[in-house]
Amino acid sequence: MKMEINKDIERILFTEKELSTIADNIAGQINTDYKGKELLVVGVLKGSVIFLADIFRRLSLDCRLDFITASSYGSGYESSGRIIIKKDIDTDIKGKHLLLCEDILDTGNTLFYLRQNLIDRGAESVRICALLDKPSRRQKPVTPDYYGAQVPDEFVVGYGLDYDERYRNLPYIGILKPEIYM
Ligand code: XMP
Ligand code: MG
């Protein structure tokens, strides 16, 4: 597909086809692991929405969907340790199995906070599903229970991931040219 924002991408990391295979694999694991259980999938807005839509449609479980928005103090590029919930879930989570769905696990600050917050509010279990994992930058002890791929320490965009709210609509994931954000 020809898109005018393609020119800002240095290199494609995952094609549409590869992302579709990733969604097949992750959804397959979730379907197996939660067989016979009810699941509440909680999407972390906004970055997870495209990935989440692909995963959610592949689930054959009895499941519900909700969303949460977290924000951190500090620059837009990376999260600080201080996280606040800007938009909360609407669902009563006491005794429920939750799957937090996120675009990328980077420092881990956001998901470390959210997971503990949801456990403190009575969730029976909270697992993490992240499309991408950037383990080299981790600051908190958190690993994804389900993930698509590990990525090096470069800024990636597309398929929901943004830079300054742009590029979410790219159907693939690519590395942004450094001159765009420097
Ligand atoms: P932490 O650091 O709390 O943050 O794990 C996760 C959030 O940081 C954003 N993030 C990125 N967004 N390309 C992006 O578009 C990246 O390479 C990247 N690294 C971190 C993202 O919003 C994620 O939810
Ligand atoms: Mg995000």
More confident residue, 182 or 171: 171
SS3 22: helix
User: Which ligand neighbours the alpha carbon of 161 most closely?
Assistant: 1
- Please write the tens of the pLDDT for every residue from 3-62: 899 999 999 999 999 999 999 999 999 999 999 999 999 999 999 999 999 999 999 999
pTM metric for this prediction = 0.94
In ligand 1, which atom is closest to the CA atom of 163?
15
Give the residue, by CA position, lying nearest to ligand 1 atom 21: 104
In a domain, 162, yes or no: no
For residue 48, the SS3 value is coil
In this predicted structure, the answer to whether residue 115 has a pLDDT above a threshold of 90 is yes
Q: Give residue 3's pLDDT.
A: 80
> Pocket of ligand 1, candidates 45, 67, 78, 104: which has the most ligand atoms within 8 Å of its Cβ, to mutate?
104
In eight-state DSSP terms, residue 34 is: T
Cβ neighbours of residue 133 under 8 Å, at least 6 residues apart?
104, 105, 143, 144, 147, 149, 150, 151
pLDDT score, position 180? 92
pLDDT above 70 (res 77): no
Please identify which of the residues 8, 54, 103, 106 carries the catalytic annotation: 106
Residue 166 included in any domain: no
pLDDT at 143: 97
pLDDT for the residue 78: 60
Count of structural domains within the chain: 1
Backbone angle region of 165, left / alpha / beta, with phi > 0 → left and psi within -120 to 50 → alpha: left
pLDDT at 72 (0 to 100) = 85
Give pairs for 149-156: CB < 8 Å, separation 24+. Answer: 149/14, 149/22, 151/13, 151/104, 155/77, 155/181, 156/13, 156/104, 156/132
Residue 61 lies in a domain: yes
Whether 106 sits among the annotated catalytic residues: the reply is yes
Range of the domain at 73: 16-151
The Cα–Cα gap between 144 and 147 comes to: 6
Q: CA 34, CA 38: separation in Å to the nearest integer?
A: 7
- CB-based neighbours (< 5 A) of ligand 2, an ion: 47
Question: Residue 76 has what pLDDT?
Answer: 56
84: domain CATH number? 3.40.50.2020
Mean of all residue pLDDT scores within the chain: 95
Condensed to tens digits (0 to 9), the pLDDT of residues 136-157 reads 999 999 999 999 999 999 999 9
